[in-house]
Structure 1
Amino acid sequence: MSVAYGIQLPVQSQSTLYAEPWEADAGPEDLRAVAVAAERAGFAYLATCDHVGVPRRLADAMGTVWYDPVATLAHLAAVTTRIKLLSHVAVVGLRHPLATAKQYATVDQLSGGRLILGVGAGHVREEFEALGQDFARRGAVLDEVIDALRAALGPEEYPEHHGKVYDFAGLGQRPRPAQPHIPVWVGGSSPAAVRRAAVKGDGWLPQGDPRDQLPERIATLLRLRAEAGVTAPLTVGALTEPLYLGTPGWHVGRRTLTGAPRSIAASLNAYPAMGVHQIQVRFRCRDRAELIDQITAFGAEVAPHLD
């Protein structure tokens, strides 16, 4: 089976680190068009980010456009039929796990079982403080929240969890997820995040690690998982370099992979050779039409040559 490929949605989050200028004037119609194009091109998933509010000190870099991931995934579930719906990543420590479970179980039910729950610790202190959460303890809290979500997203109508931070039982939640098991992919590349993914995750979502650092990280991940006695399969992911299929007539950035589809496929095949199971790709583009052209060409001309 060849490596799977997914995409982080444009428009939905507009950090200056990766958003293209055209996204500033884009909206729901553009999101829907990109989602449909990605599904037609064989992409495995659509991904959305999560921030409740961005403080002024970070707004220049992060922007303040961050669509709610649950609402966005539910909206796009209605215009697609096959493609998976990934939160990359939900900062689940900001919210009570029963509230999170209610939202994402509903998305899974409405989409016919297409949710992948990507979770992360978060990094914006002001968000935690505004929502009454302990920023300093966010890692330890996330460890417990994952356990609580496993219970709350399981098959039981009355889930039960008894932890240091959260304690609940006897509260029925329906609808249940359509899937018997919601995959939980853990985001982050810090030592704590890698440990968390190894011990608690069904998958790992690194945060842009350079290629030369991935083999060591993956080896550590698998070693920690083996030491913890976890034998379930683990989906290892990677974020690729930005891509542009063909010869660009404009400056696409020095790190962008460009060229003929076969040469791009040959370069991307370094990822499965490292033990990566799914890659998340991003395309440089000047408007929605160019992005859809790139998505379509990738599915038709690059994907068949991925190992």
Structure 2
Amino acid sequence: MSNTQKSAMDLIARPGEITLGIELPLDNDWSPAGDARRREEGRPYGVPDLTRYPELVRQIDDARFAALWMRDVPVFDPRNFGDAGSVYDPFVNLGYLAAATKNVALGTAAIVLPLRHPMMVAKAAASVEQLSGGRLILGLASGDRPVEYPLLGLDFEARGETFRKGVDYLRAAWKNGGLPLGDGRSVSEYDLLPKPTGNRIPMVIAGNGQQSNDWIAGNMNGRFVYPGDLNRMASQAADFRSRRAAAGHDRGAFISAFHLDLADDPDEVATPRRFGARLGRNSFIDHMARLQDVGVDHLAVLLRPSRRPLPEVIEELALDVLPQLRSTDTKTRAA
């Protein structure tokens, strides 16, 4: 991270532009051809093809996308959810990405904090922050899969309170002055190493974590929301920023996602699908401009529905979309 860059958040929240990131896993199993290939290989639905993962990661990093995002799915539940997410343990994966990439922010969307002791999360996150040169964005959530809690002997209904206590612990553990006990006290005889740069790591919340909007604005550097109606997203972004201003904080980062099937024809109009669409790049650029207009700073795209080969899609996004997004005039990008 350069001397002028203050935080990994600077990689995704840039004045005058909307940035683009890629969500793992990197396959196209949700396309018709990809699903047929999955069946032939005998993989359960939702378990991705990871054979080209390393080369695609390097392509994304070299192309200077803003971020790579991964989910936290501890237990594959094919009956109720049918999606294995990024498969790899998120912190092991982050360690690999810290070495395999040089430019992109490394984001989690999101670590299910109540499932882990916050001391171990604090140490793992600080390790990634140091090894990546300050590129970690720690996305956190309370979890929406009830099956995981009883498997670990944890109370699903108490996850909101556990989440808040966990966030407090993380902040205390990253500071100098001893190891927190979780009750407001600390033990000066012990400490947690390494410490992150500046004794802090930017945190964003995915969903609401069972928390109030005031708590989110006061404690999280960013908010990651599901894609949806633009008016709703505009209201969410404005509310988040007004509450942050009232708490004396900077504007923070407002983040969303999109399931992208990029058409060959750059002028193909959008055919909506759940959480995204099939569309040409010009329509996608227009959509990004509208998102920026309503207050979105960063969009994480999932490429699993893509009918085209992923290297080809990534290359088109890098060559023909990213330069358009770096314009400060959203009204004339697609002109």
Same fold (TM over 0.5): yes
Of 227, 232, 235, 2:250 maps to 232
In structure 2, what is the equivalent of residue 81 of structure 1? 102
Quick one: structure 1 residues 152 and 209, their matched pair in 2 at CA, closer, same or farther if it must change by over 3 Å?
A: farther
Q: State how far apart, in whole Å, the 1-side matches of 2:85 and 2:245 are.
A: 41
Of 53, 63, 68, 2:75 maps to 53
Quick one: structure 1 residues 301 and 118, their matched pair in 2 at CA, closer, same or farther if it must change by over 3 Å?
A: same
What aligned pairs does 1:29-108 form with structure 2 within 5 A after superposition?
Answer: 29-55=51-77, 57-59=79-81, 61-63=82-84, 66-108=87-129
> Whose RCO is larger (CA < 8 A, sep 6+)?
2
Name the TM-score, length of structure 2 as normaliser: 0.77
Of 229, 235, 251, 1:216 maps to 235
Q: State how far apart, in whole Å, the 1-side matches of 2:88 and 2:141 are.
A: 17
Q: State how far apart, in whole Å, the 2-side matches of 1:140 and 1:74 are.
A: 29
Contact 2:244/2:251 (<8 A) preserved:
no
Matched, 1:270 2:277: no
Q: State how far apart, in whole Å, the 2-side matches of 1:85 and 1:64 are.
A: 16
Of 130, 153, 175, 1:109 maps to 130
Contact 1:106/1:177 (<8 A) preserved:
yes
Shift of 1:25: 6.3
Q: State how far apart, in whole Å, the 2-side matches of 1:5 and 1:197 are.
A: 23
Aligned residues: 292
In structure 2, what is the equivalent of residue 132 of structure 1? 153
Which one is further off, 297-306 or 239-248?
239-248
Q: State how far apart, in whole Å, the 1-side matches of 2:202 and 2:260 are.
A: 26
Quick one: structure 1 residues 203 and 141, their matched pair in 2 at CA, closer, same or farther if it must change by over 3 Å?
A: same
Of 247, 259, 263, 2:265 maps to 247
Of 309, 313, 317, 1:294 maps to 313
Query: What percentage of aligned pairs have identical amino acids?
Result: 25
In structure 1, what is the equivalent of residue 180 of structure 2? 160
Which one is further off, 233-242 or 197-206?
233-242
Name the TM-score, length of structure 1 as normaliser: 0.83
Q: Which amino acid aligns with 1:160?
A: P
CA RMSD, 1 decimal: 3.0
In structure 2, stretches of 5+ residues that fail to align are: 1-15, 39-46, 331-335
In structure 2, what is the equivalent of residue 282 of structure 1? 302
Q: State how far apart, in whole Å, the 2-side matches of 1:197 and 1:118 are.
A: 12
